[in-house]
Amino acid sequence: MNPNGNRRAMAMGDRPKRGVPEGLWMSCPRCKATIFRKEMADRGNVCPEPSCNWHFYLPSRSRIAQLLDGDSFEEWYTDLNPCDPLGFKDRIPYSERIAAEQAKTGMRDAAIVGKGFIRGRPVVLGVTDFAFMAGSMGSVVGEKLTRAVEEALRLELPLIFVSGSGGGARMQEGILSLMQMAKVSAALARYDNAGGLYISILTNPTMGGVAASWALLGDINLAEPGALIGFAGKRTIQATVRLELPQNFQTSEFMLEHGFIDRIVERKDLRTELAKIIDYCEHE
């Protein structure tokens, strides 16, 4: 019997097994394929399976970096902070919920607005982020978007809003949230009367009061593939009208087929398409 062999075997037995680190792989919700997370991230958070092309959630900062020229973004109104005008409380007070969302996301609220350049073309850009209370629109979100529209009017620049607002109007702020729908829409009407170009980009999901106001008011409405777009959810509608709805109901493909949006553009092509649209409209 080889004592050295026994010692090696004991040492190998004591050594912890090397497994695959957690978080490297994930399952695609559409095609159910197991995909390498880094490959998905390198593709702009899009499923790498050719037959799938599912567009995952993309954080607002990543979306800004993807759309705009490098280091060209100048963020505006960073000092606006949400408050709790109604003293609202459900499971926890609204003020505590806001603080938790801010700590989780590093954002003041669900919208980021500012000025930047797309292939050298100056634009005003606004993005709502699903990660902050489902991208719902409260007073701060409405105020930021309204101010962005007014600045686009003053500077005579194209305006681009990217919606990732699955939460619609924020119920914790009551009528103060609902009035943001009219406020942003009125600002867009003034911008339109002055001849401004407004491009709306709808991502998954865009629902509720956001879809019922500024998200579908673009001169040109673009959407990412497979995005959920609508007011009330499919299950709510089915329970109300007692009818079986189409399988692709409220998807961007359904919306395009029925004339609610102008084009479906994959995420990797958005920057180029926006530059083309701006050039075309400016020369008309």
| pLDDT tens track for 172-195 | 999 999 999 999 999 999 999 999
User: What pLDDT does residue 243 have?
Assistant: 83
User: What pLDDT does residue 13 have?
Assistant: 54
Nearest alpha-carbon partner for 187 in 155, 220, 148, 160: 148
Read off the pLDDT of each residue in 123-137 and give the average, rounded to a whole number. Answer: 97
In a domain, 152, yes or no: yes
Per-residue pLDDT at 4 exceeds 80: no
Residues 81 and 42 in one domain: no
Check residues 223 and 236 and name the one with the higher pLDDT: 223
Burial 51-88 (b: 16+ CB within 10 A, else e): ebbbbbbbbbbebbbebbeeebbeebbeebebeeeeee
Residues 119 and 24 in one domain: no
Rounded CA-CA distance 182/199 in Å is 18
In a domain, 149, yes or no: yes
Domain-terminating residue out of 11, 28, 56: 56
Comparing 28-37, 140-149, 214-223, the range with the smallest average pLDDT is 28-37
19 falls in which pLDDT band (50, 70, 90)? low
Residues 34 and 117 in one domain: no
Residues 62 and 89 in one domain: yes
In a domain, 267, yes or no: yes
Q: Nearest 5°: CA angle at 127, between 193 and 260?
A: 60
User: What pLDDT does residue 260 have?
Assistant: 94
Residues 264 and 201 in one domain: yes
For residue range 114-127, list pLDDT tens digits in order. 999 999 999 999 99
3-state secondary structure of 174: coil
In a domain, 76, yes or no: yes
Please, which residues bridge with residue 118 across strands? 121
User: What pLDDT does residue 234 have?
Assistant: 83
Rounded CA-CA distance 81/132 in Å is 13
Residue 218 has which token pair? 């673009």
Residues 33 and 149 in one domain: no
Residues 91 and 128 in one domain: yes
Domain containing 218: what range?
A: 57-282
Rounded CA-CA distance 148/282 in Å is 20
83 falls in which pLDDT band (50, 70, 90)? very high
Decide: residue 173, CB within 10 A, 0-12 exposed, 13-18 middle, 19+ buried. Answer: buried
Q: With left for phi above 0 and alpha for psi between -120 and 50, is residue 232 left, alpha or beta?
A: beta
Residues contacting residue 36 through CB under 8 Å, at least 6 positions apart: 24, 25, 48
Residues 135 and 214 in one domain: yes
Q: How many domains does the chain have?
A: 2
For residue range 58-68, list pLDDT tens digits in order. 999 999 999 99
Nearest alpha-carbon partner for 147 in 192, 106, 180, 169: 180
8 falls in which pLDDT band (50, 70, 90)? low
Beta strands in the chain (DSSP E): 25-27, 34-36, 74-76, 111-118, 121-128, 159-163, 198-202, 220-223, 263-264
Read off the pLDDT of each residue in 24-39 and give the average, rounded to a whole number. Answer: 89
53 falls in which pLDDT band (50, 70, 90)? confident
Rounded CA-CA distance 259/254 in Å is 9
What pTM, to 2 d.p., does this model score?
A: 0.88
Read off the pLDDT of each residue in 119-142 and give the average, rounded to a whole number. Answer: 97
Residue 48 has which token pair? 């790498």
User: What pLDDT does residue 60 have?
Assistant: 96
Q: What is the mean pLDDT of the chain?
A: 91
Nearest alpha-carbon partner for 109 in 81, 86, 84: 81
In a domain, 2, yes or no: no
CATH code of the domain containing 101: 3.90.226.10
